[in-house]
Amino acid sequence: MSQYEKTCLIRGDSGRTIRAILDRIGNKWTLLIVATLHGGRMRFTELQQHIPGISQRMLSLSLRHLERDGLISRTAHAEVPPRVEYELTPMGQTLIVPAITLAEWAVEHNPGIERSQTAYDSRDD
Partner DNA sequence: CGGAATCCATTACGATACTG
Partner DNA sequence: CAGTATCGTAATGGATTCCG
Q: Scan residues 22-41 and list those touching DNA (CB under 7 A).
A: 23, 27-29
Q: Scan residues 34-63 and list those touching its own copies (CB under 8 A).
A: 35-36, 38-39, 50-53
SS3 readout for 42-104? EEHHHHHHHCCCCCHHHHHHHHHHHHHCCCEEEEEECCCCCEEEEEECHHHHHCHHHHHHHHH
DSSP state of 14: G
46 touches DNA (CB under 7 A): yes
Segment contacting its own copies by CB under 8 A, of 41-49, 55-63, 78-86, 109-117 = 109-117
Q: Scan residues 71-90 and list those touching DNA (CB under 7 A).
A: 74, 76, 81-85
